[in-house]
Structure 1
Amino acid sequence: MSESDPLAQLIANPLRPLPERWTVAGRVAELERARAFATADDYWAWVAEQQRWMQPWETVRSGELPDFRYFEGGLLNVADNCVDRWAEDPATAYRAAVVWEGEPGDTRTLTYTELADEVSRLAKGLLELGVRKGDVVGVYMPNLVEAFTTIHACNRIGAIYTVLFSGFGEEAVASRLQAARASVVVVADAIYRRTKRIELLQTLRAARDRAPSVRATIVVDRTGDAPPLQENEFGYADVLEKGTGGTPAVPLDPNEPSFLIFTSGTESTPKGVVHSVGGFLLGTWANAYWQAGYEPGDVYWVAADVGWLTFPIQAVVGGLACGMTIACFEGALDTPTPARFYEICERHHVTKVLAAPTVARMLRKFGDDLAAAHPLGLKLITMQGEPLDADTFDWTTDTFDAPVVNAYGQTETGSTWTYPVYGAEGLRAGSVGTAVPGHEWAILDDEGEPCAAGVKGNLVLTAPFPTLARTVWDDHDRYLSTYFAQFPGRYATHDEAVLDHDGHLWVLGRADDVINVAAHRISTMEIEAVVTAHPAVVEAAVIGVPDATKGTVPIAFVTLGGDATDGIELDISRRVVAELGGYARLEKVYVTGAMPKTRTGKTMRRLLRDLVVHGEPTGDTSAMEDRSALDTVARVVRAGA
């Protein structure tokens, strides 16, 4: 690869060694010991030893991809490990487990002792309603304390939970409850989002006719003004009361299903990815341990929605399994003012933050003066969910004087598995570091042959690990065909990646987002890196659209800062050509005031493509936070047609 190659330029960002103030004592030696295990199974055995087992396991692993099992013969319980063991320890019993704030400003804090009590009572209340091991419980609410208690009440009795994004409408709720065969739903009467009251119970009632398996609804009175209960509806407080005295945690096989999470996309049928009891617990404990690393006095704010698997990974399961204090916020990070993010950090003494890169771009858009007015003293900012461009990395690092850990994983992997370990490893803007212990991977060409360093290809995982999804709910053939048909015996991420010459991994985006312009292949991340480097650009999304002559051409959507000037579209296009070459020339640059995003801040690029190609969305829009953003982009596209 020549130095003038755009990919070579992208991965040439220098490695930043950690300054002494960002290192954590003993962390390097600990990581070296973890990497020194002879096999991945030896490492996962060490992870298992950090948990509390009700019955010892006999074998670490049996089987290979795609059929594998972990810790057979052993029994454990997720709620016991995440809640009970901390509540029983005098040193941690009165440590805050969850520090919650609602969008209107109301707050609530639960210690591990208080959390254990409420989880146990709710678990018994579920049993009183007829919920049994293996039954599915829907969780239809945003980031509330009751999301934590409901998930762990299910974990306690072996019920299978599925979290429904609180932005879902009637059709999306009905289809997922029907597909899951849910028997009970726990729902907030209403929630607050961007100062508006959103009626979840009303939506659920409208959806229930199409989900006949639902026999009971538990209503959390979030607003203090819940409507009268109807037949087969029960108040959350009443269910707690009926559960007085609690119920013991049930010993479970670590390979049993723990929960299912529905992925959204262009498919008409929701795909319920299933994660296991012990696999998810062990993998998320390790994930939170290496990515965030609990230190005394920490308050870890996972600024994501409970409907995004990152929240269960880092907060509800992984974070609590590490004994951390988790900050949790109900609303929008810019409501009622752009200072809300900073105010939450200050009010709750937050030390570490996890967010999508879009959050950092939003803060950057709000300006350096606002950041300077709120010096936070954060020890860590970690990001995942979408590519992190170098400019955003640099701004975040410099503004907060904290390490920015860029991590990569998927809903199906159940955790992020490659990133620079907090407090131990250097940082490289745009890179997702190196794989953490226990994970084996490769980059392959389309024929399944390994790619050399500097050559992009298909990212695959080559060996099992505990948090990898075990199946698709009610459709194992779909699991096999989706993830293992392309490269038999290896899990296909369907992402493109490249390994740089220092051994750092760069994930370039979905393989189907790679743009093939007149036989030249280039990833959207490569073009976006150039576009976002323009001083006037705050955020960019690049997509490929069909072209009769070239096959595919790139189009950019950008939002601009306050110093934008006339002719910015031409200026951006010229910059792309100058830095990447004529084959990467942008066919169009659309300047828009908003981008369609999920509630957790991911830009929905496939909707942008739909607007350009079809004039309207053709896939699932249920995960979108603000429909008006899509309308804004649609007007821009129509005006530029």
Structure 2
Amino acid sequence: MSDDSLAQLLDTPLRPLPPGWTVADRVESLAKARALEPDDYWEWVARQQRWTREWDTVRTGGVSDFRYFEGGLINVADNCVDRWTEDPATADRAAIVWEGEPGEVRTVTYAELADEVSRLAAGLLDLGVGEGDVVAVYMPNLVEAFTTIHACNRIGAVYTVLFSGFGEEAVASRLQAARAAVVVVADASYRRGRRVQLLSTLRSALTRCPSVRATVVVDRTGDGVALREGERSYADVLAAGAGGAPAVPLDPNAPSFLIFTSGTESRPKGVVHSVGGFLLGSWANAHWQVGREDGDVYWVAADVGWLTFPIQAVVGGLACGMTVACFEGALDTPTPARFYEICERHAVTKILAAPTLIRMLRKFGDDLAAAHPLPGLKLITAQGEPLDGDTFAWATDTFDVPVINAYGQTETGSTWTYPVYGVDPLKAGSAGTPVPGHTFAIVDDSGEPVPPGVKGNLVLTGPFPTLCRTVWGDHQRYLDTYFAKFPGSYATNDEAVLDHDGHIWVLGRADDVINVAGHRISTMEIEAVVTSDPDVVEAAVVGVPEETKGTVPIAFVTLRSSSDDGVADRIRALVAGEMGGYARPDRVYVTPAMPKTRTGKTMRRLLRDVVVHGGPTGDTSAMEDPAALEAVTEVVRG
């Protein structure tokens, strides 16, 4: 990033919240929370939950070997589900409002959810699932994903969610690595108007997964599934557990949730989150980032296979007693109006999504947004990728609501820096300031802190309950990956800069920094400039080898209009003018779509592969729409 570009970013003005957006009691509560030391704050969070037995010590250990609330016993399902059934006012409150892509709608109250979770937990026990056993969840956004996760929480099983877009190889490798005992699977899912066969994919994968003892099949399509040996229907498992099962008091440091992430490495890591840690951090995340208010319907417009969904919906949202909206399918199917129609149909008040969704809505146009004004909407919060300033401004102006940009990682188990809803002023594109309980630093490659306005490595300097505890089956890999580079701190492997108002700006992965003729530059920084062109809806920049310069940036863009006359030259000139000639993209490809995961993250690795190798060289099973990659390949090949 050039000095001028960095100065412009750091001079971004604060955007105060209008009085109507301030929630008075949250202002006072947050001020008190921010005055606490981290351990005192986490003790306050713990006291918002229900414990079977209180703890002896808040924390022991440092950032890489910590334990919280030793001696205490707690159950996640008890806190997310059972506690809300004890008051008639909340027992009859909708916990989940679900809509399938074909249009079905199902509403489940907290009382109904508690009953189904208890019966499913008993049914899993009947299948031989015990405390510490791994249960894989292989399905789209269904009510049964909620019930399965909390049935596991109820009996102390460890759940792992497999993205429903995974193919046979990806499913098999993760089941093998997890040593899963049981898989709960939907027979199929609906995506973009077609059925995606999940059970048949699982059956093929299971030939290589001897640890799996049983499969539980959810009849999503209603076709009636012909079961094979080792398979039980979800309905039969519920019936077998008709008597229900009590919530098991658990060590808050015991493993609860196993999620696979490749991060910056090619071999997926099974990141482990703990029982109490994940509950406390998820509750706090939903409490500050979203903030339940009477009448709220909170839509987490993400896939259950993305950690954000378990954090904000399945655990955090329910732990806060919220009504959570859940949608199965694609948000542009059967028409671009589907997003708006869901908001209207279910009276959605708050939305969480990846920035990709907001960019998609912007691409669909102002006329469509004007036809669906959404007067009940109070908040949009985005995470998962950097939120560019233009997208922030469009969403803020179009919907007249705060747009919160939050930052976290799979490994941190929650977002930990963002403007708190209803309290903190906003800056277009910044990740705000750290929420209570988290301490950070921005350091140079030697681990020395850098002053505000200077880029560096973003690290977390103290532990917190939602930070992952280990890598499944490989603790040394955990230590080497996250704590070796900066001893005594957790390395995010992201670059960031702190501005003079104390706001954190996350600039992108440290490994996305490329060296162009001796100049180090982040591809994310180039993307921010490219997206400032008024015709560009979305951009992705990757570095590719070049004989003279070593590496050169290549830009891929999607446009608001169908004409691309002069766009490439204009973008190259724009980047050169903003950042310097060394950052000018070597090539600019205009493409109708980008390859993305179902969670909305652009698969830059595949873009790089197409340019360098002519096609993908690694796993593409997480890709949402193979046609997008085909379109990119056709453009690159000319």
Distance 1:542 1:10 in 2: 19
CA distance in 1: counterparts of 2:538 and 2:88, whole angstroms: 48
Does 1:207 find its partner at 2:193?
no
Shift of 1:124: 0.2
Distance 1:422 1:524 in 2: 30
Secondary structure (helix, strand or coil) at the match of 2:74 reads coil
Counterpart of 1:496? 495
- For 2:637 and 2:168, the matched residues in 1 are separated by 29
Offset at 1:630? 1.0
- Whole-Å separation in 2 of the counterparts to 1:226 and 1:164: 23
Structure 2 counterpart of 1:238, one-letter code:
D
Find the counterpart in structure 2 of residue 131 from structure 1. Answer: 129
What is aligned with 2:546? 547
SS at match of 1:54: strand
- Aligned equivalent of 1:593: 592
Instruction: Give the residue type in structure 1 aligned to 2:459.
Output: V
Q: SS at 1:577's partner residue? A: helix
Amino acid at match of 1:180: A
Amino acid at match of 2:506: V
- Separation in 1 of the partners of 2:264 and 2:500? 36
Q: 1:262 to 1:60 in 2, by over 3 A?
A: same
Structure 1 stretch 335-344 or stretch 86-95: which is displaced more?
Answer: 86-95
1:152 to 150, 153, 171: 150
- Aligned residue in 1 for 2:8: 9
**What SS class does the counterpart of residue 363 from structure 1 fall into?**
helix
Runs of 4+ aligned residues of structure 1 deviating over 3 Å after TM superposition are 264-269
Show the 5 A alignment for 1:176-195. 176-195=174-193
User: In the TM superposition, what is the alpha-carbon distance from 1:604 to its structure 2 partner?
Assistant: 1.0
Q: How high is the TM-score relative to the length of structure 1?
A: 0.98
Letter in 1 for 2:109: T
Residue identity in the other structure for 2:86: E
Name the residue aligned to 1:329: 327
Give the distance between the partners of 1:481 and 1:235, measured in 2 at CA. 42
* Aligned with residue 285 of structure 1, among 279, 283, 286: 283
- C-alpha distance in 2 between matches for 1:605 and 1:317: 30
Amino acid at match of 1:147: A
1:304-361 CA distance string (max 9 Å, x none): 0000000000000000000000000000000000000000000000000000000000
Preserved contact between residue 101 and residue 193 of structure 2 (Cα < 8 Å): yes
Partner of 1:627: 626
State the partner residue of 1:605. Answer: 604
**After the TM superposition, which residues 59-458 of structure 1 pair with which residues of structure 2 at under 5 Å, given as runs?**
59-264=57-262, 267-377=265-375, 378-458=377-457
What is the CA deviation profile of residues 154-174 of structure 1, one whole-angstrom value per residue up to 9, with x for unaligned ones?
Answer: 000000010000000001111
Match of 1:468 in 2: 467
Instruction: Deviation per CA, 1:9-64: give whole Å up to 9, x if none.
Output: 22322110101121112221111010011x10000000000000000011100000
Rounded to whole Å, the distance in 1 between the matches of 2:59 and 2:322 is 29
Kept after mapping to 2: 8 A contact 1:262/1:273: yes
Counterpart for residue 520 of structure 2: 521
User: Contact 2:512/2:524 (CA < 8 Å) preserved in 1?
Assistant: no
Single out whichever of 448-457 and 76-85 deviates more from structure 2.
448-457
Cross-structure match for 1:637: 636
The secondary structure found in structure 1 opposite 2:61 is strand
Cα distance, 1:442 vs. partner? 0.6
The AA in structure 1 aligned to 2:330 is A
Q: What is the SS of the residue equivalent to 2:91? A: coil
Q: State the alpha-carbon separation in 1 of the partners of residues 618 and 7 from structure 2.
A: 35
By how many angstroms is 1:615 displaced?
A: 2.1
State the 1:520 CA deviation: 2.1
Structure 1 residue 534: Cα displacement: 0.7
* Cα shift at 1:620: 3.0
Q: Secondary structure at the match of 2:415?
A: strand
Give, in whole Å, the separation in 1 of the partners of 2:74 and 2:264.
Answer: 37
AA of the residue aligned to 2:437: G
In structure 2, C-alpha distance between the alignment counterparts of 1:11 and 1:196, rounded to whole Å = 46
Q: Give the alignment's TM-score, normalised by structure 2.
A: 0.98
Q: Is the 8 A contact 2:62 2:463 kept in 1?
A: yes
Deviations 1:496-533 (A, max 9, x none): 10001111000001001112222222222221121111
What CA deviation, in whole Å up to 9, does each residue of 1:457-505 have, x standing for no partner?
Answer: 1111111000000000001111111111111121111101000111100
What secondary structure sits across from 2:464 in the alignment? coil
Structure 1 residue 265 displacement after superposition: 5.4
- Say if 1:266 and 1:620, in contact at 8 Å, map to a contact too: no
3-state SS, counterpart of residue 430 of structure 2:
coil
Contact 2:4 2:578 in 1 (8 A): no
Give distance in 2, aligned partners of 1:479 and 1:265.
12
Residue aligning to 2:20: 21
Deviations 1:122-147 (A, max 9, x none): 00000011111111001000100000
Q: Secondary structure at the match of 2:83?
A: helix
Q: What is the alpha-carbon distance in structure 1 between the residues aligned to residue 540 and residue 265 of structure 2?
A: 22
**Contact 1:265–1:620 (CA<8 Å) still a contact in 2?**
no
Whether the 8 Å CA contact 2:264–2:511 is kept in 1: the answer is no
Deviation at 1:283, TM superposition (A): 0.4
Residue pair 1:540, 1:559 contacting (<8 A) in 2 also = yes
The residue identity in structure 2 corresponding to 1:637 is V
Q: Which amino acid aligns with 2:194?
A: K
Q: In terms of mean alpha carbon deviation, does 609-618 or 278-287 score higher?
A: 609-618
Unaligned runs of 5+ in 1: none
Q: Which of 47, 55, 58 is equivalent to 2:56?
A: 58
AA in 1 matched with 2:19: E
1:570-589 equivalences under 5 Å are 570-589=569-588
- Once the two structures are superposed, what CA deviation does each residue of 1:203-257 show, in whole Å capped at 9, x if it has no partner? 0001111000001000000000133000010010111111112110000000000
Report the AA paired with residue 437 of structure 1: P
1:568 has 2:567 as partner? yes
Task: Report the 3-state secondary structure (helix = DSSP H, G, I; strand = E; otherwise coil) of the residue aligned with 1:162.
Answer: strand
Do the aligned partners of 2:564 and 2:590 also contact (CA within 8 Å) in 1?
A: no
Classify the secondary structure of the residue corresponding to 1:361.
helix
Task: Say if 1:265 and 1:619, in contact at 8 Å, map to a contact too.
Answer: no
CA contact (8 A) 1:78 1:281 kept: yes
Shift of 1:451: 1.0
Are the counterparts in 2 of residues 62 and 70 from structure 1 also a CA contact under 8 Å?
A: yes
- Deviation of 1:614 after TM superposition, in Å, equals 2.3
For residues 266 and 627 of structure 1, do their structure 2 counterparts lie closer, same or farther at Cα, with a shift above 3 Å needed? farther
Instruction: Give the whole-Å Cα distance in 2 for the aligned partners of 1:498 and 1:414.
Output: 22
Q: 1:544 and 1:295 mapped to 2: Cα distance?
A: 45
Pairwise CA distance, 1:270: 2.5
Q: Distance in 2 between matches of 1:228 and 1:88?
A: 40
Q: How far apart, in 2, do the equivalents of 1:603 and 1:11 lie?
A: 26
| Matched residue type, 1:617 | P
Identity, % of aligned pairs? 78
Deviations along 1:529-579, whole A, 9 cap, x unmatched? 211111111111111222222222211100011264411110111111112
Q: 1:265 to 1:59 in 2, by over 3 A?
A: closer
Shift in Å, 1:629: 0.8
1:46 and 1:107 map into 2 onto residues whose CA distance is 38
What secondary structure is seen at the aligned counterpart in 2 of 1:546? strand
Deviation at 1:266, TM superposition (A): 6.8
Give the deviation of 1:362 after TM superposition: 0.4
